[in-house]
Structure 1
Amino acid sequence: MHRVNLYAAEGGLGLVVTGRTMPDLRLEVASGGRMLLRQQSRLVLLGKVHRWNYGVHVHRTGDYLSPLPPLRAHHARQVTPPGSAAWFDRWAHQFASWLDDADAGPLHNGFWILRPRRLPPYCLRGDLTTDYPDAYLDWFEGWNGVLPLSQLPDADAARVKAYRRQAREQVLPPILLWSVTGFDGYVLIDGYCRLAAALAEGIEPSVLVLAIGTDPEIGHDLLRQAAAHVELLNRVNEQTGVWGRADALRAADGLTRRFANACADLPEEQRTRAWPIRGGVRTWEQQAANVAHAWVAKLKE
């Protein structure tokens, strides 16, 4: 039985996932830059990295299902005040609970972080992938946007209209993104109608990002290293009269550089895990030919 334990993390909510070795929504890869996204037994996305790593071609099949239940209007209005730290925290806990119960999400064993993020405007504007079902994520031009796994609904769709009202009332719940390092961007997990509503109203939607995190013990070790660093600096300063001020400053500078390098080597978010495609290249080619023959033919041009 899988289980998700929650803890307070820096700037968000930490998740410790156990009992889930294989996620229901997972990235699979084969040689030659071939990748796919599978949700349970359904093929959701095919991907092929450009031969010179200039970007990645993607094709979506239309079989993606959000792992979160539909959000009701009364639920959105109960979470207040909108945009506050407490508001984000309540939604993070709610999303984490739904992801724990879901059979179609990306969680697998390990440490995760779920936190609000204010994205640069281009992420949900120019770098939002609106081409569907085929698209190209242009790394050469610096793509770092959002990739929907289904087509975004029209602004006049019934559910989008309901969310547009919530957007005007400033109670629109956040969208949920999954940070996927293999795309160098984000995958839209939940909030298709909410995103469409925000764009139609000309506002930036609130965002919660799910990413693989680090062991919280590493953070505790870093705090201990920081305390030791301060103690060493104090000892160096005490030796100023013995060594001379120039020598003491050089020693302090060296200690600070080493500590800064140690901090830089500890990224807050880890690489997205991928599993090998069973059957490798042959399986990828067969599935691509079955569901996206025209897309495959275009890649060979």
Structure 2
Amino acid sequence: MNAGVSIVADDTRSWGLETPGPGLLLHVPAAGRWARRPAVHLEAAPDYRIRLRGAGQTLLWARIDSYWDRAAFLRGTAPVPHVLPALSAPEVRAVEAAPGTEPWWEAWAWRVARALVEAPLSVLHSGSWCLRPVRAIAAEKSERHPVSPMEWGFGQPPMPPHSLSAVTRFLHAWNEDWWDARTEHTPGVVLGLRAPSSAEDGRVKSWRKRARDGTLPPVLLLYVDILAKWLVLDGHDRLHAALLEGVEPQLLGLWPFVTPPRAASAVREEGALFSAEFQLRAGATPETVDRVNRMLLLNFTPDPRGTVSRAWPLPRGRAAWREEVSARRRGAPSPLPDDIDWDWFT
């Protein structure tokens, strides 16, 4: 394929979330271009200061409270790099399988996997990755609070995506109180990396037609577990078109993963069985049975796979952070929210 990248069918027993089609595993070597920082990556400074970089520019600064009670976010002003080439009409027509079927998902997964490997601005780094269809859930069904590193067993399953409409509310800075249970702050929310195009934009209109006839290609999301969010890597206009047409967009999720050893635990397994019994007692609907089966597989699988986002050291650490954030605030074209504790953030 490219520089030793191995792509095989995903044989994971359970990721703990609904996956409506087959997926792929990408095993990326620690050599050549893959040993360097990818074009889109995270950088970290002390005290949970996280910087998202894209093609050498800062796309997002995030600061998380040490007790994992709150976080604040500030966007950069740089344009989002195109990590995948724009889809052409012939490429879309080349996928002839019925949308949403296994052959359709397989065709798109392979196309996206090849594009990720061959892209000049890759998001991949050395290690293992999963590329798999994911299905959005209702926001009220999301977990209520992010899980802090103090509670992690190293590597947790990605949270199901939700609140797709959040991409239409493009804020330049915002606070998140992780105890107030607002659904737009709960784990799994989808975050756009750029402002949505106008509904009158020609490309959005073209994708709206595809959304109406059911042939809209999937949107590519990247899960970042330290932020508990899905980032839109490719397909902002496709997602916007689906929302405008009121149809459910097809989502293709990408996440790095590890396979940490896990000892058998009677307490964990008994707890899973108790939870299964409790959920089924309320009514064994097909949706409930499917959810319970995923939960049982996840809890009884030895050495389950989990996602951990990699971050590189932020050059010059907190000094660079302070300089960048201060400059961004001074250069803001419009006032930034005053409910953010900027002294703490900076």
Letter in 2 for 1:5: S
Q: Percent identity?
A: 29
Structure 1 residue 176 displacement after superposition: 0.3
Cα separation, partners in 2 of 1:261 and 1:92, compared to 1, 3 Å: closer
Query: Which residue of 191, 199, 204 corresponds with 2:248?
Result: 204
- Cα distance 1:105–1:59, how it changes in 2: closer, same or farther (>3 A)? farther
Q: TM-score, normalised by structure 2?
A: 0.69
The whole-number CA distance in structure 2 between the counterparts of 1:108 and 1:126 is 30
Q: Indicate the residue corresponding to 1:191 in structure 2.
A: 235
Find out whether 1:17 has 2:17 as its counterpart: no
Aligned mate of 1:72, from 49, 64, 88: 88
Task: Work out the CA distance in 2 between the residues paired with 1:265 and 1:129.
Answer: 40
| Alignment match, 2:174 | 135
| Aligned partner of residue 92 in structure 1, secondary structure | helix
Cα distance in 2 for partners of 1:267, 1:288 equals 39
Counterpart of 1:300 in structure 2 is: 342
Partner of 1:155: 199
Conservation of the 8 A alpha-carbon contact between 2:43 and 2:312? yes
SS in 1 for 2:325: helix
Contact conserved, 1:60 with 1:150, CA < 8 A, in 2? Answer: no
Q: Distance in 2 between matches of 1:76 and 1:261?
A: 35
Aligned-pair CA distance for 1:135 = 3.2
* Partner AA of 2:125 in structure 1: H
Give the alignment of 1:97-136 within 5 angstroms.
Answer: 97-122=114-139, 123-125=162-164, 128=167, 130-136=169-175
Instruction: Return the structure number with greater helix share.
Output: 1
Go from structure 1 to structure 2 and tell me whether the alpha carbon gap of 1:40 and 1:58 turns closer, same or farther (over 3 Å shift). same
Aligned twin of 1:234:
none
What is the alpha-carbon distance in structure 2 between the residues aligned to residue 299 and residue 51 of structure 1?
14
CA displacement 1:159-195 (0-9 Å, x = unmatched): 1000000001110000000010011121110000000
Instruction: Report the equivalent of 1:6.
Output: 7
- Tell me which amino acid in the other structure corresponds to 1:124: S
Give 1:271's aligned amino acid. Answer: V
Distance 2:44 2:165 in 1: 28
Residue 69 of structure 1 and its aligned partner are, at CA, apart by: 0.7
Note the aligned Cα RMSD (angstroms): 2.9
CA distance in 2, matches of 1:89, 1:158: 29
Provide the rounded CA distance (Å) in 1 between the counterparts of 2:252 and 2:82.
15
Instruction: Report the Cα distance in structure 1 between the residues aligned to 2:297 and 2:252, rounded to whole angstroms.
Output: 29
Question: What's the CA shift for 1:204?
Answer: 1.2
In structure 2, the residue matched to 1:274 is 311
Q: Deviations over 1:35-78 (max 9, x none)?
A: 11112321221112246423322222242112101111232122
What's the TM-score once normalised by structure 1's chain length?
0.78
Q: Give, in whole Å, the separation in 1 of the partners of 2:9 and 2:298.
A: 26
CA spacing shift, 1:261–1:165, aligned 2, 3 Å: closer
Q: Which runs of 5+ in 1 are unaligned?
A: 226-258
- TM-aligned CA deviation for residue 264 of structure 1: 5.5
SS of structure 2 residue aligned to 1:286: helix
Q: Which moved more, 1:200-209 or 1:283-292?
A: 283-292
Moved more, 124-133 or 195-204: 124-133
Which residue is 2:71 aligned to? 56
Rg larger in 1 or in 2?
A: 1
Alpha-carbon distance in 2 for matches of 1:102, 1:82: 25
After superposition, what is the alpha-carbon deviation per residue over 1:188-224, rounded to whole angstroms, capped at 9, x for unaligned?
1000000000000001100000011346xx89x99xx
5+ residue gaps, structure 2, are: 12-21, 140-161, 265-295
Question: Among 272, 277, 283, which residue is 2:320 paired with?
Answer: 283
